[in-house]
Structure 1
Amino acid sequence: MNKKIPMLVLGSLLLAGCSVHTTSIQDAGEKLMTIGDTTYTKGDEYTMIKRSNGPALVIQQAQEIIYSKEVPASDELKKEAEKQYDEIAKANPDTETQLKNLGYASKDEYIEKVLLPSVQAQALMDKYFVDDQDTIEAQYKPSYAQIVQCENEDAANKALQALKDGKTPQEVAQQYAAETTSYKGDEALVTTNDTALPTRLINALATAKNPGVMEEVYSSDDENPTFFVAVLDSNDYDENVERIADTLGSDSSLSKGCLVYYLTKYDFEVHDQDLFDYYKTNSPEYLVTRPDLTEKADETD
């Protein structure tokens, strides 16, 4: 099955084809307006739009096509979009008037063009956490744990022994936690985003075979180390995927990773030279059929 997506900008800018070229439109010479001695044509307008907003429009349309294939506008998603509108309207009685001032013909148009795509974007992100599990696990090493940060190694050793003796992480934190720490024994998602935590601890939590007290004290990776003890609650990705998605879903690098994943799935290609050059310079990760360029993007992230 051919999965390539034909991407259009303003109904004219075809981005799937057989060679790199500069796209144009029919009737490019047709006059739109004249100001003094200057005449503007459809071709002038097209070139201006492509240069000023073309890259964003292409990605927007790519997203719309991906939504239609991966998370189509089901009754459930439509109801969620309508619910969001009702909440907006409840908070602001002048919503419909303001929408008309913004150019929307009705609330239905706003729901269809703005809120529904937003709901689909969230649904796609949730789906991405399932579809690209291996990548997310490898990059973020997610687990749920109760961690206590201690002022010094002696306090950490005592805290570890208290955990082994059966005290809860909260009880241990009351006695041994550093005063200013946010790690006081409450359960939290642990990932590689947690730069305050030792890398060894993050890796150990992610790879431990069984939940329970971690068997050693972990020190931070800096010149003035602090010390941590931990209790692993779960590192079962399948069991925790919804909670992981809720917490990590707003991560900007994951949002980009989600888009790139589905652009790759559908063999997204750019065959307009101007747009290709723009992406090559600014967003090479979107040029998914050019691994030589996407690898460079990964190196600079």
Structure 2
Amino acid sequence: MKANKIKGLLAIGCTCMLIGGCSNSTTINNASDVLFTVGETTVTRGDEYDLVKNANGSTLTIELVRQAIMDEEIGRTEEIQKEAEEQYDSNASSVDNYEESLKEAGYKDKDDYIEKVIIPTIQQEKLLDQYFTDAKEEITKTYKPTIAKILECDTREDAKNALSALQDGKDEATVWDTYSRESANFSNEEIVVSTLMEETLPTYVINTLYSQDEAGIVDEVMTDDESEDGPYYVAILVSKDYDENKEKIQENLTLRNSDQIDNDCLVYYMKKHNLEFHDQEIFDSIRSTNPEYIVNHPELAEEEGQ
């Protein structure tokens, strides 16, 4: 599906298109068509459009954008259709009158539910997988992921002794057992370190691991610059090879903040497809809630972050 197909998807019953720049409020065909009349009051398709737009227009627009991106990037292949059918059958096998319950929930039938729910879910999962490949540079720059071991000590003296012991080749498990603080957040295990850990690990430790070129022991005792009482950290960089650890990194970052990662993914592909909003009211609404979605005006997101 090419860009013009995305334009078509976004134009159907919503307020978003991918061409040109931001302009005045958009209109719909047949706006004067009457939906119903009560006494002297007549409601048209144009009234319906305005009601939907004003009530939830920006949210609906973004969902249509998301779906258009997934259809463009992932598509609706036979493989996805087969996977969706299998998921449906699995769900239905454990629930009595499953299709009837879907109809009660507002879906026409099995195919309608597969089309509107299961396939988009599968597409979203596959898009996220693709994002962690396509956006390697952006992800590493933002989240600085590494694979490391972190030893957390109560005192600087303990940390110095632990660092010396590791540099002398002492058994790691013994060093951890000897010097790790009782309330330590980390054990002698490899973990994914990233900027999403800044509440439990000083930024300095995260940056130092990411800036180290070769795997091995970090040759310094580290702490939070704003704390005079510790804790103090000793670290071993296991790997900073993104490609080698992509699955671990994806799982960890998504687990730590799935909403942020999903949003990053959406913005990445909005930028790729040079997304622009034509309806001024929708533009203004999205600008106030998610300025990062106005991808042709990145300064808006910067202003929001100040």
CA distance 1:30–1:236, shift in 2 (3 Å): same
CA distance 1:96–1:221, shift in 2 (3 Å): farther
Asked if 1:262 corresponds to 2:279, the answer is no
Counterpart of 1:271 in structure 2 is 278
Task: Indicate if the aligned counterparts of 1:12 and 1:24 stay in contact, CA closer than 8 A.
Answer: no
- 1: CA distance, partners of 2:127 / 2:27: 33
CA distance 1:93–1:153, shift in 2 (3 Å): farther
Counterpart of 1:253 in structure 2 is 260
Query: 145, 150, 175: which is aligned to 1:147?
Result: 150
CA distance 1:182–1:86, shift in 2 (3 Å): farther
Task: Indicate if the aligned counterparts of 2:21 and 2:276 stay in contact, CA closer than 8 A.
Answer: no
CA distance 1:65–1:12, shift in 2 (3 Å): closer
- 2: CA distance, partners of 1:283 / 1:148: 39
Aligned length: 298
Residue identity over aligned pairs, in percent, reads: 38
Query: 103, 106, 111: which is aligned to 1:108?
Result: 111
Q: Which moved more, 1:81-90 or 1:41-50?
A: 81-90
Moved over 6 A (4+): none
Instruction: Give me the TM-score of the superposition, normalised by structure 2.
Output: 0.88
Q: Which moved more, 1:33-42 or 1:85-94?
A: 85-94
Q: Which moved more, 1:81-90 or 1:37-46?
A: 81-90
CA distance 1:13–1:153, shift in 2 (3 Å): closer
CA distance 1:170–1:108, shift in 2 (3 Å): farther
Q: Which moved more, 1:186-195 or 1:63-72?
A: 63-72
Query: Of the two structures, which has the highest relative contact order with CA contacts closer than 8 Å and spacing of 6 or more?
Result: 2
Asked if 1:285 corresponds to 2:289, the answer is no
- Secondary structure (helix, strand or coil) at the match of 1:183 reads coil
Counterpart of 1:208 in structure 2 is 212
Instruction: Give me the TM-score of the superposition, normalised by structure 1.
Output: 0.89
1:1-301 matches, within 5 Å, as: 3=3, 5-6=6-7, 8-11=10-13, 13=15, 15=17, 16-17=19-20, 20-195=23-198, 196-223=200-227, 224-250=229-255, 251=257, 252-297=259-304, 299-300=305-306
- 1: CA distance, partners of 2:16 / 2:197: 43
- Secondary structure (helix, strand or coil) at the match of 1:24 reads coil
Task: Indicate if the aligned counterparts of 1:170 and 1:186 stay in contact, CA closer than 8 A.
Answer: no
1:254 deviates by 2.3
- Secondary structure (helix, strand or coil) at the match of 1:119 reads helix
Structure 2: unaligned runs, 5 residues or longer:
none
CA distance 1:185–1:23, shift in 2 (3 Å): same
Q: 2:224 corresponds to which letter in structure 1?
A: S
1:14 deviates by 5.5
1:10 deviates by 4.0
Structure 1: unaligned runs, 5 residues or longer:
none
- 1: CA distance, partners of 2:93 / 2:216: 47
CA distance 1:149–1:12, shift in 2 (3 Å): closer
- Secondary structure (helix, strand or coil) at the match of 1:238 reads coil
RMSD value over aligned CA atoms? 2.3
Residues 28-72 of structure 1 show CA distances to partners (whole Å, capped at 9, x for unaligned) of 222222334432221111110111122122212222221122112
